[in-house]
Structure 1
Amino acid sequence: MQFYLKENGMRTDLEYGELCISGNEDYGFRPFQLMVASIAGCSASVFRKILAKQRTEVQDLTIDADVVRNPEEANRIEEIKLRYVIKGYNLDPEKLYKNLEIARKNCSMVRSVENSIKIEENIDTIELSR
């Protein structure tokens, strides 16, 4: 990856387009937003693959992310709370949590920050009827 200095931040050109990064969200994604998106995106991607292998019938999966930052330490991210909302059929919460734990162990982004950022994961299920 190559990054280019702009007046109000940085940019890089990636396969899916230009990515602008700035501490001012008028000019691009803020670095903490990209960090949280990387963790949530990686975790959800691995989790979805595991659910597909388990033949879990998921119709929709969303993640709400709450971020705790420490303003006294350069607004350091201290904690990310991920709440998975899963809509599907015959959902077994115990099995979902076991699969989420497997996903956590196989998500490179979570593993990269696990000793510096507390990551809490919870699941809410919405059972659909046929």
Structure 2
Amino acid sequence: MSHTIKAVNTGGMAFEIEQDGHTFTVDAGPSVGGKDQGPRPKALLLSGLAGCTGMDVASILSKMKMPYNTMTIEIDANLTDQHPRVYDKIHLQYIFKGDNLDHGKIEKAINLSQDKYCGVTAMLAKTADISYEVLTE
């Protein structure tokens, strides 16, 4: 599988990105010449991580027949001070709400995502220490 991405500068620091039939804008903040018309490209890596692992975990828990009401993933990441600024620490919080949640199944699903299935985790782990915790409500 391959992806083709097209980025067109729409003025200033903004780019319209076309990806697999979807279009969105990335931009910089005003302090560096942007107009804040969209998310920052680097932060989209974290969005990709949340989506990738979230889809894995949802799929695995479905196969395990482990229902939940909601799953939320929150990410806190640290950027290095020196250029090129990269994420060196990434912490994920998987927050589950539901009745009779099976913590063992949740942990197993997350471990499978983190260690085997999520390609975004695998890529980011080359530069960052990735940790996670599970919270249930």
1:106 & 1:21 partners in 2: Cα distance? 27
Q: How many residues align?
A: 126
1:119 & 1:88 partners in 2: Cα distance? 26
* Runs of at least 4 residues off by over 6 Å: none
**Pairing 1:74-113 to 2, within 5 Å after superposition:** 74-104=84-114, 105-113=116-124
2:74 & 2:124 partners in 1: Cα distance? 19
Which is worse superposed, 45-54 or 86-95? 86-95
**Corresponding residue to 1:21 among 22, 26, 29:** 26
2:86 & 2:129 partners in 1: Cα distance? 12
Q: 1:57 is paired with a residue of what secondary structure?
A: coil
TM-score (norm 2): 0.82
2:126 & 2:36 partners in 1: Cα distance? 32
2:89 & 2:36 partners in 1: Cα distance? 25
User: Which residue in 1 is equivalent to 2:15?
Assistant: 10
Measured after TM superposition, the shift of residue 65 of structure 1 is 1.0
User: Which residue in 2 is equivalent to 1:39?
Assistant: 49
User: Which residue in 2 is equivalent to 1:114?
Assistant: 125
1:93 & 1:14 partners in 2: Cα distance? 36
1:113 & 1:74 partners in 2: Cα distance? 15
Measured after TM superposition, the shift of residue 17 of structure 1 is 4.2
Q: Are 2:135 and 1:124 equivalent residues in the alignment?
A: yes
TM-score (norm 1): 0.86
5+ long unaligned stretches in structure 2: 30-34
Letter in 2 for 1:102: L
**Corresponding residue to 2:79 among 57, 69, 77:** 69
2:25 & 2:94 partners in 1: Cα distance? 28
